[in-house]
Structure 1
Amino acid sequence: MKMSTRFSDAIHILAFIVIYKEKVQLSSDTIASSIGTSPVVVRRLMAQLKKGGLLTTVPGFADPTLKKPAEVVTLLDVYLTIEGDKPLFSVDPKTNPACIVGGNIQPTLTEYYRQAEVAAKAKLQQTTLQDLIDTILVRQAEKEAGK
């Protein structure tokens, strides 16, 4: 099963807009080339980010901007905007109830997954877009310094 990259692509878009503002044209083509996807995917994600109150765009102009400062946008804000209330993990509903494992795995995993999801969302809530951008810029500086 293929994992969705919509969440990470949305974060990529927002970070790209902040880092490259005033440096390159912020068209969906330019952003898509950084992500390695199509401009259509970028436009769809940007529409969701705009609808979620994280991005401001003007049709016909390649000048998207964050609606809020990167210091206050959390990764949980981005996740909820892109994925909504979709669970992070899913349990296979088609297990064999006559089997010891199949008959007990669903409620067992559901509880563990719920705990993991709460912890993951708490971490996303503590991490701002600015934290992520700062880490990207530090890593790039280290690369440029030859480390």
Structure 2
Amino acid sequence: MKISTRFSDSIHILAFISIYQGKIPLTSDNIANSVETSPVVVRRIMSQLKKAGLITTVHGAADPKLAKDPANISLYDVFLAIEHDQHLFTVDDKTNPQCIVGGNIQDTLRYYYKQVETSAKAKLARISLADIIDSIIVKQAQKTNKKG
């Protein structure tokens, strides 16, 4: 089973827009080059981000902008925009109800998964896009200082 990267790609796109605003044309090609995906995927994600009110775009212009200050965009906001409050974990509903494990695993896992999911979503709500951008800038400065 392949795990989707749309959420991390969305955060990548938002950080790219913020960091490169006014420095380079913010075309879907340029953004896709950074994400290492296709411009079509970038446009689809940006459409979802726009629908969620996280970015603004003008048709035909390579100049998307964040709709809010990065400090006011939480990772949970991005998660909701892209995953629509999707569950982080799924339980296999096809287990043998006659087996002790198969008959009880579903409710047991749902109980624990719900706890983990609630904690994870609460943590995502406390991390802002500004936190991510600041970390990117610090990491890049560290790389630059090691070279120089």
TM over 0.5: yes
Letter in 1 for 2:90: S
Q: How many residues align?
A: 147
Matches within 5 A, 1:1-147: 1-146=1-146
- Tell me the CA shift for residue 85 of structure 1: 2.2
CA distance in 2, matches of 1:102, 1:29: 48
CA distance in 1, matches of 2:102, 2:144: 52
Deviation at 1:24, TM superposition (A): 1.2
Name the CA distance, whole Å, in 1 between partners of 2:100 and 2:33.
49
Q: Distance in 2 between matches of 1:15 and 1:97?
A: 47
Structure 2 residue ranges without an equivalent (≥5): none
TM-score, scaled to structure 1 = 0.97
Paired with 1:127 and 1:85, the residues of 2 have a C-alpha distance of: 17
**CA RMSD, Structure 1 to Structure 2 (Å):** 0.9
Using the alignment, how far apart are the partners of 2:51 and 2:13 within structure 1?
Answer: 15
Q: What is the one-letter code of the residue matched to 2:80?
A: L
Q: Percent identity among equivalent residues?
A: 63
User: How far apart in 1 are the matches of 2:143 and 2:99?
Assistant: 53
Q: Which runs of 5+ in 1 are unaligned?
A: none
Alpha-carbon distance between aligned partners in 1 of 2:22 and 2:89, rounded to the nearest angstrom: 39
